[in-house]
Chain A
Amino acid sequence: MATEKKICGYHGTDKEYGDAIFQTKIFLPSQSDAEWLGKGVYFYIKSDDAAEWCKKRNYDNPMILRACVIVKEDEYLDYDTEDGKGLIRSAMEVITHASKYTKFGENNAAAKNQHAIAMVLWAEFPELKVLLGTFPTQAHPFPVIKDVRPLRPEFCVRDSSYLREIEIC
């Protein structure tokens, strides 16, 4: 039997949407081109991060939902593990090789390229259900080599149909 992994997280939203999500069990996937793990449904691993997200968005009536996803070995990718980092580096090399003589942008292109890597993975690997990664919580005041920004772990699920145990916190 294939090894399964259960990943649970917290999604912050406004109560109006949160109630609808809880009733329908449908989370609308984020469609922004700036999402670092691509288009999908986002969760923070820590509830405090979801609360902070609500605060930042100035929700009048914030609500936090918890949900879990169960994935088989080949249905997820964790950017934070050594294997995950190696996979992303290798995928970047393949993409770079294919786009010989063209640079991947120089002005603030990092976030868009980060999104694009995830979008390639979602498109080419339909078995993939979850992408996980830890990302900085804020922009750098100015560019430096050593990244000292606070980090928060999060994950993105392809769509709501994979989510289980949805509950209001």
Chain B
Amino acid sequence: MLSKQYVVEKLHQKLNEMPTPYKHAYLRKFGFEFDTDVPSAVKNIMKLYDSTWGTGGSTNEDIRFGQAYKEAHGIGLQAVMRFQSDG
């Protein structure tokens, strides 16, 4: 039977090499269902940052940190909201 080690290593390598924003798209392609609609989540994230830019509600550092957070943990409004609530 197909070896577990081979399957895990190949999948791990494939997903690790993939830029974070593409991981969800890759998984969606195969039919995985997510609670968050990624395209609308991306729009919401951009809207969120656009609306807070220059209003005192957000600083460049916040935005840079937010972007890094997004890249590190995957795209999704929930992640950004969690980042905000985490302070």
Task: Assess the A99–B24 pair: CB atoms within 8 A.
Answer: yes
Quick one: which of B8, B18, B34 contacts A91, CB cutoff 8 A?
A: B8
Q: Does B48 contact A (CB under 8 A)?
A: no
> Cβ of B36 and Cβ of A125 under 8 Å apart?
no
Within 8 A of A (CB), among B11-33: 11-12, 14-15, 18, 23-24, 27, 30-33
How far is B31's CA from A27's CA once the two chains are assembled, in angstroms? 24
Nearest CB in chain A to that of B82: its residue: A101
Size of B's binding interface in residues, CB under 8 A: 29
Contact present for B2 and A87 (CB under 8 Å): yes
Inter-chain contacts of A33 with B (CB < 8 A) = 31
Also in contact, A98 and B15, with CB within 8 A (given A76-B2, A84-B1): yes
Cβ of A147 within 8 Å of any chain B Cβ, yes or no, is no
* Shortest Cβ gap from B45 to chain A (Å): 13
User: Which residues of chain B are near A83, meaning CB under 8 Å?
Assistant: 1, 4
Q: Verify if B66 is at the interface (C-beta below 8 Å from A).
A: no
DSSP class of B's interface residues: helix, strand, loop or mixed? helix
Q: Using a Cβ–Cβ cut-off of 8 Å, how many residues does chain A contribute to the interface with B? A: 39
Asked if residues B24 and A102 are in contact (CB atoms below 8 Å), the reply is yes
Residues of A contacting B: mostly: helix
Confirm or deny: B73 has a beta carbon within 8 angstroms of a beta carbon on chain A. yes
Cross-chain contact A81 with B1 (CB below 8 angstroms): yes
Determine the chain A residues whose CB is within 8 A of the CB of B23 once the complex forms. Answer: 98-99
Judge whether B11 and A95 touch: CB under 8 Å: yes
Known: A74-B2, A90-B8, A121-B7. A113 touches B33 (CB 8 A): yes
Partner of A102, one of B6, B11, B15, B74: B74
A102 in contact with B4 given A94-B11, A94-B15, A124-B11 (CB within 8 Å): no
| The one of B14, B34, B74, B76 that contacts A105, using a Cβ cutoff of 8 Å | B34
Residue of B nearest to A110 (CB): B33
Question: Closest residue of chain B to A127, judged by CB?
Answer: B2
For the complex of A and B, the 8 pairs showing the least CB-CB separation, nearest first, are: A105-B33, A116-B31, A119-B30, A98-B15, A109-B33, A87-B4, A116-B32, A116-B30
What are 13 inter-chain pairs, A to B, with CB distance below 8 A? A73-B1, A81-B1, A87-B8, A90-B7, A90-B8, A94-B12, A99-B24, A99-B32, A102-B74, A104-B33, A120-B11, A124-B14, A128-B2
